[in-house]
Amino acid sequence: MKKAGMIFGLLLLLAGFSANAQIWKQSTCLKIGHRGARGLLDENTMESLLKAIELGVDDVEFDIQRTKDGVFVLMHDPTVERTTNGQGAVSGMTLAEFKQLKSKSGYSIPTLEEVLQVLKPLPVGIILDIKVTDPKCVPAVYALVDKYGLVSRTVFETSYPKVAKAIEEFNPELVSAIYPAWPPSAIYYAKKYKLDCVSLYYPFANPLEVKRARKAGFKVVVWTVDKPGKISYFANKLKVDGIMTDDPNLFKAADADCGCGKR
C-alpha cells in the first residue's frame, strides 16, 4: 500500500482515538511498535511507523539522533552503516548529506519534524527515544513536539540518566521513561529523577522486578517481546502497562489469550 493510501485509511480510525495523555489510565496494556514495525519494514522509516499503526498499535516507538547542523532525525545508532547505504556518524553529517541516505530497502529516512507532521492527525501515541547524549537537546526536542500539539500524546524516553534528569528538570509534567544500559538500575534512576515509567528489557522483567517497580509507583513497559506466548505472559500474568514488539502482527496472535491493548 502506498504511503498516501495508508494515511487515508488510518484517518478513518480517528473517531475512536483517545489522546495519549490517558496512556497510564488504561486498564489494559498498551501495544507498542518498536521502531515502527522493524520486523516487517526497515526500522525508523515512515513506512515502518505507518505499518505499525495500520496493524493497530496504540503507540509507536522511534529513536532520534541529531545532525551536524542541529536537526533531529530518525536513527537508532550514532552511525548509519547498519541501517542505511551510507557511512559515518549522524553528528558528522549536515541534514542535506543525511537526506542522501536510503534505508537498506531504499526508503528515505525522515526528520523528527516530518514524522510529527504525519503522526499529528493519526490515532496513535508516541514513545520518543532520545538517543542524543547531550542533555541540552531536551528543550529543542520538546519545542518540536509542542509545535505539533503532541506533548500530551508523547512519552519522552531515554537510556541516558543525564538526559532523563534533563527531561524532568525541564518540565516535571512530561511523561518520562528510562531504560539504562544496565537494566536492573532502571528503578534506581527512575526514583532518583522522579520519572513515570521504567522500560525493562524482557529477560530482566521477572515478577520480582515488576513488583518492585509497581511498589515504587512506576508504570512498566517491557521490550522487545517477539513471541505471542510471551506477550500473553507479560500482559496476563505480570500485568505490565505496555509491551513493545518488532512485529505488531503478534499482538493479534496473542489477543485471544491476553486482550493486550483492547480498550
Residue 263, pLDDT > 90, answer: no
User: 154: which strand partners?
Assistant: 126
User: Is residue 136 domain-resident?
Assistant: yes
User: Is residue 202 domain-resident?
Assistant: yes
**What is the domain count for the chain?**
1
Residue 13, pLDDT > 50, answer: no
CATH number at residue 89: 3.20.20.190
Confidence tier at 27 by pLDDT (50, 70, 90): low
| Average pLDDT along the chain | 91
Q: Supply the range of the domain harboring residue 78.
A: 25-255
User: Is residue 5 domain-resident?
Assistant: no
pLDDT tens readout for residues 95-114:
999 999 999 999 999 999 99
Of 261, 210, 206, 212, the C-alpha closest to 240 is: 210
User: Is residue 260 domain-resident?
Assistant: no
Task: Please report, rounded to a whole number, the percentage of residues in the chain having pLDDT higher than 90.
Answer: 83
User: Is residue 172 domain-resident?
Assistant: yes
pLDDT tens readout for residues 124-162:
999 999 999 999 999 999 999 999 999 999 999 999 999
- 3-state secondary structure labels for all residues of the chain: CCHHHHHHHHHCCHHHCCCHHHHHHCCCCEEEEECCCCCCCCCCCHHHHHHHHHCCCCEEEEEEEECCCCCEEECCCCECCCCECCCCEHHHCCHHHHCCCEECCCCECCEHHHHHHHHCCCCCEEEEEECCCCHHHHHHHHHHHHHCCCHHHEEEEECCHHHHHHHHHHCCCCEEEECCCCHHHHHHHHHHCCCCEEEEEHHHCCHHHHHHHHHCCCEEEEECCCCHHHHHHHHHHCCCCEEEECCCHHHHHHHHHHCCCCC
User: Is residue 9 domain-resident?
Assistant: no
User: Is residue 18 domain-resident?
Assistant: no
**Model pTM score:** 0.91
